[in-house]
Structure 1
C-alpha cells in the first residue's frame, strides 16, 4: 500500500507539472557513501545510472570487467537521506547466448520496464576496439533477452567519438517506449564544446518497445565551457536524462576539466522540451549540412552556485537521475548520483543529491 501511495502521489505531481507552470529546482540535501562498501565480493562504485521501481532503486555499475547492477533501498527522513541499504548485486553473465562476451559492456544507464518485468541497459561499447554501442534488455537475473536496433546515424563507428555515445536513458511518460541520449556530438553533426559558442548538438532518440526500433530523433545543443583551462582535458557532454512530462526533460550536462583535481567538474541541470517546431532528424545523416531546430532549453541549476552546501565544495561526476520520493511538503524530488570511477583517477565521491521540483 505504501508503494502504491507513493506512485499515486508521483502521478499527481507529474500531472500538475503539465498544467503550464514552469519547473524550478532547489537543493535539498546531500549524502556521501563510504568508498569501502562492498556486496558479494564487489565494491559499490562506478554508479553510472539509476532508476526507481517498485520500492527499489536500481543502479548500474560501470565496470567493463565485471558488468553488474545493484538494488537498494534509500531511507529519507525530514528531507535528508539517512541511509542507503544495498540489498543485492546482479551480474550480467551469458547463459544461452554470447551477447555479453561478444560486446564490450561499458554500461552507462539503466531503466526498469515494470509491465514486462525486464531491465534495459545502454552501453557505449568500445569504439577504439571496433565494438559497437548497444541498447539491450535482460531479466531481473541479468540474463540477456534482446537487443534494440540503433538508427543508422549510430551504426557508423567511424562517425562516433570513443566514450561519447549512448550515455543516458529514460522511460517515456507514454509507457510505449523510452529515450536515449548521446554524450557528445557525432563527427558529422558538429564539434565538441569549447570556450566559445559552437555547433555542438547531441542526438536524443525515442525507441518503441514493441518494434525495438527508433521512431524519432531530435537535436540537443550543448553549452560552452565556462571555466578557464588549467590542463589538457576540457570536455562537456550530457550524462543523464529524465522525461518528466510528454516531450519535456531534465537533462544533465557535465563539464570535466583536468588540472583542478577533485574540483574539475561543472554540473548543470536543464529543462528541455520538444516543441512542434523542433526538427525530427531521424533520417538526417549530417547536421553540419542541414538546417534544423533543436530542443528548447532553460538552465535550472548550476552546482557551481551551491558549493557551500556540498562535501568539501565538490560536485562530482553526476551520471544518473531519477525521481526521488514525494517530500513532506508535497513536492516531487529528484535523486542524482555520481560515478566515482572506483577512485582510479584520484579522490572522488559516491555522491547522492536530493533536489526538489518547485512549480511556479
Structure 2
C-alpha cells in the first residue's frame, strides 16, 4: 500500500475548522396586518424565540409601556407546504399577550423600560433584555420572567461599566442611548424537562459603550461587548465578556448596529444580524460567529485601543440580505423555527415597525442548511 504524503491529505483551512458549513435559502416573506389585540397595539416586534415543545413563537414588543404595558405575544405560524419547491408562510396568528411585571409585581411604568431581546429557557421562563433609558439614567438589564404569568423571577448581574453615569471627576460611561442590550440568546438543548442542566445565556450591545467609542477612524465599525453567563435554576454566574467588532457602516448610514444574536449549538457557534439604515433604506447582513477563540475582555475598562493580542469574536458573512431583491424593513429578531418537511431547520427573522404607519411587521423565512 503506498504511503500518503502531506501533499496527498485533504487541505482544511483555518476558517473551515472554525466555522460550521452553513448556508441559507430564502423561502419567502409575510407581512403581519396592523391590528389591535386585547387592548394592545401590536407592533415593535424586536425579539422572537421559538418553543418547540408547543410549536409556538414568543415575540417581544419594544413598546416602552407607551401604548400598553411592556409585553410579549404568543404567535402561531402556519406554513403552506403543499408544494415543496414553493414553501411559504401562510399565516401568522396572534394567540395571546403576556404583560411582564417588575419585582414589585406591577407592570413597568411608562418610560422605565426598553425591551429588546427575548430568549426561552428550559426553566419554563423567558429572559428579557432592556436597553435601559440612558437619557434618564436608567441602566440596561437582563431579567427572567415566568412564561405564563409574566411574573419577575430574578435579575442577572450586569457589570457597572454598562450603567450610564456622568460625574465631575470621571468621564461618561455606560450604554449609549437606544444602543444597549439589543441581542439576547440561550444555548441549551433541554427544554421542557423537569431536571435542567446548566445552560448558557449571551447578551450583546447594539453598539459600543460610551467609554469604548473611538473617534480616530469614523469608518471603523463599533466595538460592541458580549456577556456570557452560566445559569441554573437558583444560580447565575457571569463567566466572561467578549469583543464583537461591527462591520464598518455603509456609506450614507444614519444608524448601524448589531440587532440580534442566535446560539445555534452548544459549541459556541452563533448567527448575528447587523442592520443599517440610511438614504437607501435598510441594509441587513447575516453572519456566522465562533466564540471559542475570542479574548475575555472582562478586565478591560475600555476597548477603545486594544492590542493586537486581543481577539474579537471571529465572524463570517453568511448572507447579504440585499441580494434577496425583497424590500427590507427594520429586522431585529431572529430564531430557529420548526423543522421543514425535508427535515432541515427553518430560520425566521422579524422586523420592528417602530409603530409607524409607513413601516411593516415583516417575517422572512429561510431554510438553514448544515445544522443538525
TM-score, normalised with respect to structure 2? 0.81
Question: SS of the residue aligned with 2:43?
Answer: coil
Instruction: Give yes or no for the alignment of 1:271 onto 2:318.
Output: no
Residue matched to 2:141: 134
After superposition, the Cα gap between the structure-2 partners of 1:40 and 1:99, relative to the gap in structure 1 and judged at 3 Å, is: closer
Among 300, 306, 312, the residue aligned to 2:324: 306
8 Å contact 1:202–1:222 — kept in the other structure? yes
RMSD: 2.5
- Does 1:241 find its partner at 2:241? no
Mapping 1:314-325, distance limit 5 Å: 314-325=327-338
Q: What is the Cα deviation at residue 28 of structure 1? A: 1.2
Match of 1:74 in 2: 77
- 2:38 equivalent in structure 1: 40
Answer whether contact 2:134 2:164 (CA < 8 A) is retained.
no
Alpha-carbon shift at residue 21 of structure 1 (Å): 4.7
Q: Structure 1 stretch 165-174 or stretch 317-326: which is displaced more?
A: 165-174
1:150 aligned residue:
158
Cα separation, partners in 2 of 1:171 and 1:21, compared to 1, 3 Å: closer
> Normalising by structure 1, what TM-score?
0.84
Pairs within 5 Å for 1:286-297: 286-291=302-307, 292-297=310-315
Give 1 or 2 for the bigger CA radius of gyration. Answer: 2
Confirm or deny: 8 A CA contact 1:70 1:89 kept in the other structure: yes
d(CA) in 2 for partners of 1:350 and 1:199? 28
After TM superposition, list the pairs within 5 Å mapping 1:117-266 onto structure 2: 117-139=124-146, 140-157=148-165, 158-159=172-173, 160-173=175-188, 176-191=199-214, 196=219, 198=220, 200-210=222-232, 211-227=235-251, 229=252, 234-245=254-265, 246-257=267-278, 260=279, 264-266=281-283
Give the equivalent residue in structure 1 for 2:13: none
Q: Do the aligned partners of 1:151 and 1:213 also contact (CA within 8 Å) in 2?
A: no
User: What's the CA shift for 1:25?
Assistant: 1.7
Give the whole-Å Cα distance in 2 for the aligned partners of 1:235 and 1:47.
Answer: 18
Q: Which residue number in structure 1 is paired with residue 359 of structure 2?
A: 348
Deviations 1:281-335 (A, max 9, x none): 112111124321101111111121112xx2xxx2010110001221222221100
CA 1:99/1:280 → structure 2, altered by over 3 Å: closer, same or farther?
farther
Give the Cα–Cα distance (whole angstroms) in 1 for the partners of residues 344 and 43 of structure 2.
29
Unaligned segments of structure 1, at least 5 residues: 1-16
Question: How many equivalent pairs are there?
Answer: 325
Q: 1:340 to 1:217 in 2, by over 3 A?
A: same
Question: Aligned equivalents of 1:284 and 1:31: distance in 2?
Answer: 43
Residue 328 (structure 1) aligns with? 341
* Cα separation, partners in 2 of 1:82 and 1:166, compared to 1, 3 Å: same
